Amino acid sequence: MRLLHDLAKIHATFDDPNLVSRAGLVPVMALAQRAGLSALAGEHVRIGRRCGVNAQVKVACVVAGMVGGADSIDDLGLLRHGAMPALFGGVRAPSTLGSFLRSFTWGNVLQLEKVSRLVLAELARRAPLLPGKDAVAFVDIDSMQKRVYGHAKQGAAFGFTKIQGKALLVRGLNALAATISTPLGAPVIAATRLRGGNAASCRGAAGFAGAAVRTARATGCSGTLVARADSAFYSAAFTSAVRAAGAFFSVTVQMNPHVKAAIAAIGEDAWTPIKYPRAIWDDQLARWVSDAQVAEVKYTAFTSTDQPITARLIVRRVKDLTRSAEGQGELFPVWRYHAVFTDSPFVLLQAEEHHRDHAQVEQVFADLADGPLAHLPSGSFPANAAWLACAAISHNLLRAAGSLASLACAKARGATLRRDLIDVAARTARHGHGHITVHLPGGWHREQQWMSLFEAATGPPAHPA
């Protein structure tokens, strides 16, 4: 590919008032409008400070900027160019939106998180977000240590995180998130919570898990619902809260002496060999693993508390090849064990496979880090918490837009959706009595998907999904 004109004869100027660079915001914000984003923000977010007025307008501006690719307050200026004022009303300057975010208190953040949950429930009714949700769905809970650099960041502290399989201390803020997914659908964000950088993963997780399960029910997950988490959330409070909310739990077990004794009591004839269709990466062995054995045993956990729970202990074991000397055959196999505590109604192999899929929550964190959560832009802790809540809303809007565009877009990464559906240049033209047409590039490689999204978002309301 090369230029067809002499470089000296190519000129550029920013002077066309009828162009927009992100025409995909039209159907996406139409979807947000139908889901009631602005109305819900105006009803529930009530900020007492002077710069906190017009929440219904400013929350929508922040979310629209994030959908368009903004990852800082200054980037929200992408909403103010060309013909954007002809397409959208109420666009605010980045400085105004920054002052708005800094006016949040922690109570206002909780109000915005409620708006996020209500918008998700409405999106689930208007788009095929979670196919198969009436049969089985999963709530995945995990936390992410988001690195920050500013010396004045409120709440910033050192906390543990894993980078390439190694546990490291990283200075940052801790984001707790819960996602909802089905075997056929990509995950959406049910709840978020920003915490200090040195917060333990399980802090406040019990109440958070209960709220996430209730949100999943509100989105129409009426079938079997399983809450999955890693060993950092292995506690009586967490598992009891999930049960009380009406869901099953599946939690990775911490290898304490009681668990090791239960595993040692499993007979050799109880192990079932399995072969993974797709090999999985083992951090400790630093290699791909495709063969393993699984077994289960009845187990009572948390016997030292007043909430002992009896359920299934599902154990997977793989051969520890790191202990074998090179060129020497093994005298007896040495195993490494991974245990899961669950009351899941699924059979052994299904329950073990379902729990391994908990890792998909990391893809949601990766999507956020590659989008609006590339930065936590403010020095104010409540402002960053509000930014996180808006990031969750933008993620769910993109997911809903993708599900309306095509089956492939329904599972595409956020960056892919922005590239194919949002970041499309267009020219606007007025005609008739208040009509406006958005002219997009001819031959666009995602024309069919874009038009499917546009017709679904702006056409007559469809029957609830």
Which residues have CB under 8 Å from 428's CB, separation 6+? 18, 19, 20, 83, 86, 87, 436, 437, 438, 439
In words, the CATH class of domain 32-417 is alpha beta
CB neighbour burial string for 23-51, b if at least 16 within 10 angstroms, e if fewer: bbbbbbbbbbeebbbbebbbebbebeeeb
For residue 421, the model assigns a pLDDT of 97
Q: Quick one: pLDDT band at residue 390, thresholds 50, 70, 90?
A: very high
For residue 208, the model assigns a pLDDT of 96
Give the residue, 151 or 64, on which the prediction is more confident: 64
For residue 161, the model assigns a pLDDT of 84
Is the pLDDT score of 179 beyond 60?
yes
Mean pLDDT calculated for residue range 81-89: 94
69-73, 114-118, 282-286: segment of lowest average pLDDT: 282-286
Tell me the residue length of the chain: 465
Is the pLDDT score of 79 beyond 90?
yes
Longest Cα separation, the chain: 86
As beta bridge partners, residue 170 has: 159
For residue 369, the model assigns a pLDDT of 95
Crossing angle of helices 37-44/55-67, nearest 10°? 130
> What 8-state DSSP symbol labels residue 44?
H
In angstroms, the CA 53 to CA 77 distance is 20
| Total-model pTM | 0.93
Mean pLDDT calculated for residue range 171-176: 96
Mean pLDDT calculated for residue range 430-454: 94
Mean pLDDT calculated for residue range 387-400: 98
Phi and psi (nearest 5°) for 128? -75, 65
For residue 291, the model assigns a pLDDT of 75
Characterize the bridge pairing of strands 157-163 and 335-342.
unpaired
Q: Which two tokens stand for residue 106?
A: 């922690």
In angstroms, the CA 391 to CA 119 distance is 13
Q: Which two tokens stand for residue 235?
A: 């506690």
* Residue ranges of domains in the chain: 32-417
Q: Which two tokens stand for residue 334?
A: 């040495």
For residue 460, the model assigns a pLDDT of 81
Residues 201-250 pLDDT 10s: 889 999 999 999 999 999 999 999 999 999 999 999 999 999 999 999 99
In angstroms, the CA 33 to CA 36 distance is 5
